[in-house]
Amino acid sequence: MNKEELVKIKEKALNDHIPIIMDDTLEVISNILKEVKPKRILEIGTAVGYSAICFSGFLEEDGKIDTIEREHDRVELARENIKRAEVEDKINIIEGDAVEILPSLNEVYDAIFIDASKGKYPFFLKEALRMLGAKGIIFADNVLYKGYVMSDYNKHKQRTAVRNLREFLAELQSNEELETKILEVGDGLAIARKK
């Protein structure tokens, strides 16, 4: 991977107000991926490819990432960035709405990163669980959504997202096949491992 390019990609994304993974969240996920050495990763929410490029450094030999993005301009930028970072052999971008794409996938993934529309997290979880391999691990970003999820303030205009994030967390925590942790890093990170 070309790390100099990665730094530039990150700076440009921040300048352009593209919502990329926060440093502390990335650090937590990276430390786990270093141990897990996944062969197959699924990402929901590519944006401009920053997190996928970062994760590609932790893949096992011949490993691959599938990543889904619905905004065409972002897909184009992500393609460019992935080339510049010299990891185009490791990352496969799927353009489209994950709500439509996910049911058409039939792969087994070692790690799944959920980082797209918060109102869809319960659906993403259902699909993620269908494709998660033995000992697989799910990461979900933004699960505390600026503190709204854990507060009783629910008149916010994003209340549907908040309700769905709460449902998502409740499902994770009640699922007996998973061991779940919710960390207050970044905007809230859920980590769920298959027992």
Q: How many CB atoms lie within 10 A of CB 97?
A: 14
| Contact status: 97 vs ligand SAH (CB under 6 A) | yes
Nearer to ligand SAH, 20 or 140 (CB): 20
Nearer to ligand SAH, 134 or 167 (CB): 167
What residues have CB less than 8 Å from 113, skipping those under 6 apart?
Answer: 29, 41, 42, 43, 44, 45, 51, 55, 138, 139, 140, 141
In contact, 28 and 52? CB cutoff 8 Å: no
Please work out the total of residues on this chain that contact Mg ion, with binding judged by CB under 5 A: 3
Q: Pairing relation of β-strands 178-183 and 189-194?
A: antiparallel
Partner in contact with 142, chosen from Mg ion, ligand SAH, none, beta carbon below 5 to 8 Å by kind: Mg ion
Residues, the chain: 195
What residues have CB less than 8 Å from 3, skipping those under 6 apart?
Answer: none
**C-alpha span between 183 and 40 (Å, rounded):** 24
Site for ligand SAH in 13-72 (CB under 6 A): 19-21, 45, 47, 50-51, 68-71
| Contact status: 141 vs Mg ion (CB under 5 A) | yes
| Contact status: 43 vs Mg ion (CB under 5 A) | no
| Contact status: 115 vs ligand SAH (CB under 6 A) | yes
Site for ligand SAH in 118-177 (CB under 6 A): 120
Partner in contact with 169, chosen from ligand SAH, Mg ion, none, beta carbon below 5 to 8 Å by kind: none
Q: Which stretch binds ligand SAH (CB under 6 A): 1-9, 79-87, 93-101, 175-183?
A: 93-101
Nearer to ligand SAH, 80 or 179 (CB): 80
**C-alpha span between 126 and 171 (Å, rounded):** 10
Kindly list the residues in this chain that would bind ligand SAH in the complex (CB under 6 A).
Answer: 19-21, 45, 47, 50-51, 68-71, 74, 97-99, 115-117, 120
Kindly list the residues in this chain that would bind Mg ion in the complex (CB under 5 A).
Answer: 115, 141-142
